[in-house]
Amino acid sequence: MIKDQTINVADLEPYQTYQQCTLVLPSLPSHVSDVHLNRCQFVGDLDHSEWLDCHFQDCDFANRTWTHSVLYRCTFTRCNLLGTAFLENRWQDVTVTESRGDYLNLSGSQLTRCRLAATTLKESYLRACRVTPPLVLDRCDLNLASFGETRLKGVDLTTSTFDQLEVDATPWSLAGLVINPVQAAPILGLFGVKIK
Q: Is the pLDDT at 151 greater than 90, yes or no?
A: yes
pLDDT exceeds cutoff 80 at 116: yes
Helix (H, G, I), strand (E, B) or coil at 25: coil
**Burial zone of 171 (CB within 10 Å; 0-12 exposed, 13-18 middle, 19+ buried):** exposed
- Given a contact cutoff of 8 angstroms between Cβ atoms, the answer to whether 145 and 119 are in contact is no
The Cα–Cα gap between 129 and 93 comes to 15
Rounded to an integer, what distance in angstroms lies between the CA atom of residue 122 and that of residue 168? 18
pLDDT at 110: 99
Where do the structural domains in the chain lie, given as residue ranges?
A: 47-189
Compute the CA torsion angle 100, 106, 107, 112 (nearest 10 deg).
-140
Span 1-23, pLDDT tens digits:
999 999 999 999 999 999 999 99
Q: What is the pLDDT of residues 19-77, one digit of tens each?
A: 999 999 987 788 999 999 999 999 998 999 999 999 999 999 999 999 999 999 999 99
β-partners of residue 115 are 95, 136
CATH number of 47-189: 2.160.20.80
Work out the average pLDDT over 132-154.
97
181 vs 194, more confident:
181
Stretch 181-187: mean pLDDT, rounded?
Answer: 91
Residues 6+ apart with CB under 8 A from 180: 157, 158, 159
Beta strands in the chain (DSSP E): 2-3, 6-8, 16-19, 22-24, 31-33, 35-38, 41-43, 50-52, 55-57, 70-72, 75-77, 90-92, 95-97, 110-117, 130-138, 145-146, 155-156, 165-166
Euclidean distance between CA atoms 157 and 42, whole angstroms: 32
Q: What average pLDDT does this structure show over 107-132? A: 98
Residue 195: predicted pLDDT: 80
